[in-house]
Amino acid sequence: MELWPCLAAALLLLLLLVQLSRAAEFYAKVALYCALCFAMSVMASPVCLLRHGGRTVENMSIISWFLRSFKYFYGLRFKVRDQHRLQEARPCVIVSNHQSILDMMGLMEVLPKRCVQIAKRELLFLGPVGLIMYLGGVVFINRQRSSTAMSVMANLGERMVRENVPIVPVVYSSFSSFYNTKKKLFTSGTVTVQVLEAIPTSGLTVADVPALVDTCHRAMRTTFLHISKTPQENGATAGPGVQPAQ
């Protein structure tokens, strides 16, 4: 009978080591991602300066090439559907769902040429990472100063009205089957990237913005729930309870 407490203690210790091992692997992979971003920024910055001489959206093709290589370090695959919807010769606004630090890899898979991105101003001060974003023509918004952020978005809105710029939603399937911060899970997997049909904005006014946002959100939510039910490379599914991120 005295053997059972020892076996129970050994089992608990084994479970603890497994959990610690998973957590260690998770943090190691996150640290590697940050290190890759830093290294990529250091290597890509002089290339951008030599190729285009300074800050320009043309540098984003160089940055995209570096970022797309990250997936090979993690065993990630991106299946892009209907990418041709982003290749049409007309300006558009791309809206995508946000889940984690891995979003950027998915975005680089579909990023069209001469695409200007918008990011929070805090990222500008991340050393080489901020520098490469600046060189890539990223527009930084100070979220602490709502007037500045609203001015940038207002200019975008005016251009949308002036040039009849449609909104093209891009939806990434759930990462939860291979990336989960609460469970400290970070393994290989497959992400489905679905490019939706363009949502026209021609003839709309400021009063139509709430309805436009709702239309975009509903289309993206429905697509997210649908493509996240598809079995992933590791055999798991996101499940019906998964909710799309902001």
DSSP reduced 3-state for 199: strand
Please indicate, yes or no, if residue 14 is contained in any of the structural domains.
Answer: no
pLDDT: which is higher, 230 or 6:
6
Distance CA 170, CA 182 (A): 26
Q: Does an H or E element contain 85, and which?
A: none
Cα separation, 134 vs 125, whole angstroms: 10
User: Residue 235 falls within a domain, yes or no?
Assistant: no
* Domain contains 163: yes
**Predicted TM-score (pTM) of this structure:** 0.78
In a domain, 241, yes or no: no
Q: Residue 231 pLDDT > 60, yes or no?
A: no
Within a domain: 4: no
- Answer yes or no: is 240 within a domain: no
Q: How far apart are alpha carbons 46 and 42 in whole angstroms?
A: 8
**How do residues 182-224 score in pLDDT, each as one tens digit?**
988 999 999 999 999 999 888 877 788 788 889 999 999 999 9
Q: Domain limits at 136?
A: 19-227
For the stretch 68-83, pLDDT in tens is 999 998 999 999 999 9
Is 1 among the domain residues?
A: no
- Classify residue 232: in a domain, yes or no: no
- For residues 132-143, one letter each, b for 16 or more C-beta atoms within 10 angstroms of the residue's C-beta and e for the rest, the string is bbbbbbbebbee
Domain tally, the chain = 1
Q: How many residues does the chain have?
A: 246
